[in-house]
Amino acid sequence: MPDNPVILLFVKAPLRGQVKSRLAAVLGQDAALELYRNFVLDILASIEKSGVPCIICYHPPDSGEIVMNWLGGHQFLPQEGKDIGERMERAFRRAFSEGASRALLVGSDIPDLPPKLLKDALALLLENGAVIGPATDGGYYLIGFRSETFFPDIFRGIAWSTDTVFSRTMQIFERAHQKVSLLPPWRDVDTIDDLKDLMSRNRNGGFIGSRTMSYLSLLKNKMNSAEVSDAKV
């Protein structure tokens, strides 16, 4: 079988009031929306630098025209399913049915994820049947499989949007005796604390010139005066 790796990027349509709600509660909906736009453009730039084809999986499924007009030049796929687990499972099934040999799925809350990490994740799939990147909030920011080792049960029986997602996922892997490679932990960006950490860890290095960091420089004064909000909405 030819080696045809692919990266599935999960995004939401850039609609005011529909993205980054915890950031919007502090910074305002317009700023949160613009930040999200920059997050997506930056992670997409990393995927493009990796040289691996990308399929943009968008939500809600009726927002295709909006997302295509925004991001153009890629393959697009609606996210379909009753929850995020089912949507991820169906995205993998579609990619493998269309000939992908290895597939990674990444979210859009990790704008500073480097291309090298994506390449490393794909390389690890040659050694083990699965790869996963734990997020510091208890979830995960990346998961991947080879076509012949795809394991859909990993997306079932999970309490999504909780701090037990990663640990429960690893339990399912272990009980099924599935071999999985671990990537370094990464902090996704949902709260003001996350945003401040993103700025702190990227004061130097290649990400300093990114769209996200450029926009954050405009928001710096507002962020310094904002109260940290960890409320889940």
Low-confidence ranges of the chain (pLDDT < 70): 1, 221-233
- For residue 114, is the peptide bond before it cis, meaning its omega torsion is within 30 degrees of 0? no
The whole-angstrom separation of Cα 124 and Cα 227 is: 41
The 3-state DSSP class for residue 54 equals strand
* Residue 16 Cα to chain centre, angstroms: 20
Cα angle, residue 37 at apex, residues 31 and 40 outer, rounded to 5°? 140
The 3-state DSSP class for residue 30 equals helix
**By C-alpha distance, which of 11, 86, 1 is closest to 44?**
11
The whole-angstrom separation of Cα 173 and Cα 102 is: 18
The whole-angstrom separation of Cα 180 and Cα 78 is: 27
* Residue 142 Cα to chain centre, angstroms: 6
Question: Is 149 buried (19+), middle (13-18) or exposed (0-12) by CB count in 10 A?
Answer: middle
The 3-state DSSP class for residue 116 equals helix
Whole-model pTM: value is: 0.92
Residues whose CB is less than 8 angstroms from the CB of residue 32 and which lie 6 or more positions away in sequence, other chains included: 19, 20, 21, 23, 24
**What confidence score (pLDDT) does residue 219 get?**
82
The whole-angstrom separation of Cα 185 and Cα 99 is: 30
Superfamily of domain 5-225: Spore Coat Polysaccharide Biosynthesis Protein SpsA; Chain A (3.90.550.10)
**What confidence score (pLDDT) does residue 223 get?**
58
Q: Which residues partner with 110 through β-bridges?
A: none
CA distances from 94 to 69, 78, 83, 136, 192 (A): 23, 11, 17, 29, 35
What order of strands is seen across the sheet that includes strand 140-146? 75-78, 54-59, 5-12, 102-106, 140-146, 130-134, 180-182
**What confidence score (pLDDT) does residue 124 get?**
97
Q: Where are the domains of the chain?
A: 5-225
**What confidence score (pLDDT) does residue 220 get?**
76
Amino acid at 182: L
